[in-house]
Amino acid sequence: MEKLNLSALAFLCIFLSSSRNWITIQAQSLPPAKFDGFLYRSGRVDPDAILIEAFYDPVCPDSRDSWPPLKLALDHYGPRVSLRLHLLPLPYHDNAYVASRALHIANLLNASSTFPLMEQFFKYQEKFYNDQTINLSKASVVKQVVDFATPAVGNFLHSEFKTAFNDRRTDLKTRVSFKFSASRGVYGTPAFYVNGFALPDVGSPLDYNGWRKIIDPLVSAKFDSRLDLLHTKF
Ligand SMILES: *[C@@H]1O[C@H](CO)[C@@H](O)[C@H](O)[C@H]1NC(C)=O
Ligand SMILES: *[C@@H]1O[C@H](CO)[C@@H](O)[C@H](O)[C@H]1NC(C)=O
């Protein structure tokens, strides 16, 4: 028997292990060792950059539609704006959790494949809609996702990718993403925070001009305040 950890809030979730017939009490270690989310273009970011946090579900059409204009805006601002992507697999999208877990696995196996794989999920999203997969078992959806995802990550990683779906740690990472998003009060996707503050209109994509309207004043405010400081006589 696994040791039962009854300590306090760790006690969030009880599940039946399907392979064995005993009940495991899953102790979740929170906070996680690493801040949740995937940094876009990591390495090319000004530490003072304006931070956009996007909360996406890889099989949500509105998340999909919001990505091209956001990407365009990120290209426009370059290192002045950084993006951290958080995942919120929505419970009414049957394959959201598996797709989110695939992104975590991709990030672990080949970090630079994370965003390309997300774009691939967006491009072929219909394959993983509820109606499309209604007659499929969970196992066959996972197999489909593995086959779908490995070309982006590296074909030679196919068996590692498959094995990672049986590794409890990738499940925990995906749970942490869910918990992180929920703890920030996010209940729909896409949702955006800018420098820690929520933008209104959860669930509706912003267009490119919408992003410019939000970010332009912040970029110039930052620049102006630096100038003001330089011209202040002490
Ligand atoms: C990692 O993923 C990127 C993006 O899909 C790809 O270009 C690169 O070849 C992959 N790396 C390896 C070692 O396969
Ligand atoms: C699912 O199975 C039902 C009953 O066999 C069938 O009518 C339906 O077309 C199937 N749906 C898909 C998407 O395969």
- Asked if residue 220 is part of any domain, the answer here is yes
- pLDDT in the model for residue 2: 39
Please state, in angstroms and rounded to a whole number, the distance separating the CA atoms of residues 54 and 88: 10
- pLDDT in the model for residue 222: 79
pLDDT of 234 above 90? no
- pLDDT in the model for residue 11: 33
How large is the average pLDDT for residues 168-187? 97
pLDDT of 147 above 80? yes
Number of separate domains in the chain: 1
- pLDDT in the model for residue 176: 97
- Asked if residue 25 is part of any domain, the answer here is no
Residue 130 Cβ inside 6 Å of ligand 2? The answer reads no
- Asked if residue 4 is part of any domain, the answer here is no
Q: What is the gyration radius of the CA atoms in the chain, in angstroms?
A: 20
Nearest CA to ligand 2 atom 1: 135
- Asked if residue 12 is part of any domain, the answer here is no
Q: Residue 150 is part of a domain; what is its CATH number?
A: 3.40.30.10
How large is the average pLDDT for residues 6-18? 35
Mutation to probe ligand 1, out of 107, 112, 120 (largest number of atoms < 8 A from CB):
112
- Asked if residue 197 is part of any domain, the answer here is yes
- Asked if residue 156 is part of any domain, the answer here is yes
pLDDT digits (tens, 9 = 90+) for 89-144: 999 999 999 999 999 999 999 999 999 999 999 999 999 999 999 999 999 999 99
User: How does residue 28 score in pLDDT terms, banded at 50, 70 and 90?
Assistant: low
Q: What is the domain range of residue 170? A: 38-224
- pLDDT in the model for residue 181: 97
